[in-house]
């Protein structure tokens, strides 16, 4: 079987970790062990996420992308004699796959990953397009249980949980922390939705008796970067390649996920590869994962004071609080590329 993966977001190389599409390279590599795999990615001058779809110019660019992408995807399917298409994100890739099905009668699946349902489906015109894409799909997947329920409510159709997982090389090496200072870590885009402002405000509310007993490393870039500056306690390192992420995860004591909106963040699963405890907001699947595997703490989404209390709890108890190492191991076994690929193939064949 020849499978075409249609996506607007695919890493340039193994070290490209700037976007959510980082998991897709690993998924495609694992899938390629079982089937022939071909990747279609339309040319984009900048990130789709930077487009403001309420502006006439961005809307025009989006329409042109959809028209061009559908035509190119059909040509791509013919050239590679595809038997099946996987659209990664319902929009715009789902529109490409729908076009291929109408032109060539090739079945397709859609893998919903968060922004397509949580953001774009809130725009009336795009919501109707997304519903059409999902209703015409032969299979529908979502990367979290939270998102799965939203998709099923949106279209009244079965949606299968298929987690997006990344594999970090060197993650099996034992994590070591050489300092008495507690090292918090944030990895992600510096955008409001990711809650970096909540984290910085929460740290400023932490009891003064812990002053000097912690530091925060921030890996990532984004529109908020211009307003953020490093100091003695908070260091901004901009985007990091895989080697740098591995280095910081091994040296850190706790990962913070302060997001206002998430499905199942990749960085949570990455941290589990290092037995790295996690403090996360109660968004998407995060509370379920944290509690099921006992790998961290949860705070109320958007609450600076709730996060500040959790940070204090960690500074007070730190890694002295017994964390079930077995929990990290179970999570790694349940969430792997092999498991995801096996599940995907069982659904489409």
String of DSSP letters for 273-340? TTT--EEEES-TTHHHHHHHHT-EEEE-TT-HHHHHHHHHHHHHHGGGS---HHHHHHHHHHS-HHHH
pLDDT of residue 114: 86
Rounded to an integer, what distance in angstroms lies between the CA atom of residue 194 and that of residue 246?
21
Band of pLDDT at residue 10, cut at 50, 70 and 90 = confident
Q: Which residue has the tokens 């997304």?
A: 130
Q: Report whether pLDDT(321) > 80.
A: no
pLDDT digits (tens, 9 = 90+) for 61-116: 888 888 999 999 999 999 999 999 999 999 999 999 999 999 999 999 999 998 88
Please state which CATH number belongs to domain 2-164: 3.40.50.2000
What's this model's pTM, rounded to 2 decimal places?
0.84
Rounded to an integer, what distance in angstroms lies between the CA atom of residue 291 and that of residue 271?
15
Superfamily, domain 182-333 = Glycogen Phosphorylase B; (3.40.50.2000)
DSSP for 256-277?
Answer: EE--SS-SS-HHHHHHHTTT--
Distance of CA 20 to the CA centre of its chain: 5
Q: Tokens in use for 260? A: 């206002």
Q: Report whether pLDDT(192) > 90.
A: yes
Summarize the confidence of residues 323-349 as an average pLDDT: 90
**Positive or negative: CA dihedral 294, 296, 302, 303:** positive
Adjacent-strand bridge partners of 38: 4
Rounded to an integer, what distance in angstroms lies between the CA atom of residue 195 and that of residue 284?
14
pLDDT of residue 175: 54
Q: Do domains 2-164 and 182-333 have the same CATH topology?
A: yes
Rounded to an integer, what distance in angstroms lies between the CA atom of residue 342 and that of residue 21?
20
Adjacent-strand bridge partners of 216: 184, 234
Rounded to an integer, what distance in angstroms lies between the CA atom of residue 157 and that of residue 155?
5
Domain ranges within the chain, ordered by starting residue: 2-164, 182-333
Nearest to 228 by CA among 257, 254, 196: 196
**Lowest-pLDDT range of 69-83, 121-135, 144-158, 317-331:** 317-331
Summarize the confidence of residues 327-337 as an average pLDDT: 91
Summarize the confidence of residues 316-327 as an average pLDDT: 66
């Amino acid at each position: 079987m020849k499978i075409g993966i249609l996506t607007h977001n695919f890493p340039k190389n193994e070290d490209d970790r700037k976007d959510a599409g980082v998991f897709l390279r690993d998924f495609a590599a694992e899938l390629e062990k079982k089937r022939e795999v071909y990747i279609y990615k339309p040319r984009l001058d900048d990130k789709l996420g930077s487009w403001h779809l309420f502006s006439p110019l961005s809307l025009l660019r989006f329409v042109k992308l959809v028209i061009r992408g559908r035509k190119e995807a059909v040509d791509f399917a013919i050239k590679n004699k595809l038997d099946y298409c996987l659209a990664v994100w319902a929009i715009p890739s789902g529109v490409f796959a729908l076009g291929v099905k109408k032109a060539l009668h090739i079945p397709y699946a859609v893998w919903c990953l968060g922004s397509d349902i949580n953001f774009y489906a809130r725009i009336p015109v795009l919501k109707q397009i997304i519903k059409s894409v999902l209703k015409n799909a032969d299979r529908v997947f979502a990367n979290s249980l939270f998102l799965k329920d939203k998709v099923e409510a949106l279209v009244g159709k079965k949606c299968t949980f298929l987690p997006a997982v990344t594999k970090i090389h060197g993650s099996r090496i034992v994590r070591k922390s050489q300092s008495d200072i507690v090292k918090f870590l944030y990895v992600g885009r510096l955008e409001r939705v990711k809650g970096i402002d909540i984290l910085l405000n929460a740290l400023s509310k932490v009891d003064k008796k812990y002053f000097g007993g912690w530091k925060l490393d921030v890996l990532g870039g984004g529109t908020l970067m211009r307003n953020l500056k490093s100091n003695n306690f908070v260091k901004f390192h901009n985007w990091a390649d895989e080697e740098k992420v591995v280095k910081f995860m091994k040296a850190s004591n706790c990962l913070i996920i302060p997001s206002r909106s998430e499905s199942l963040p990749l960085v949570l699963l990455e941290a589990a590869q290092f037995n790295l405890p996690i403090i996360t907001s109660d968004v998407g699947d995060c509370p379920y994962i944290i509690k099921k595997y006992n790998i961290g703490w949860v705070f109320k989404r958007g609450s600076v004071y709730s996060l500040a209390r959790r940070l204090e709890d960690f500074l007070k108890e730190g890694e002295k609080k017994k964390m079930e190492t077995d929990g990290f191991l179970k999570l790694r076994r349940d969430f792997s590329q092999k498991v995801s690929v096996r599940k995907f193939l069982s659904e489409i064949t």
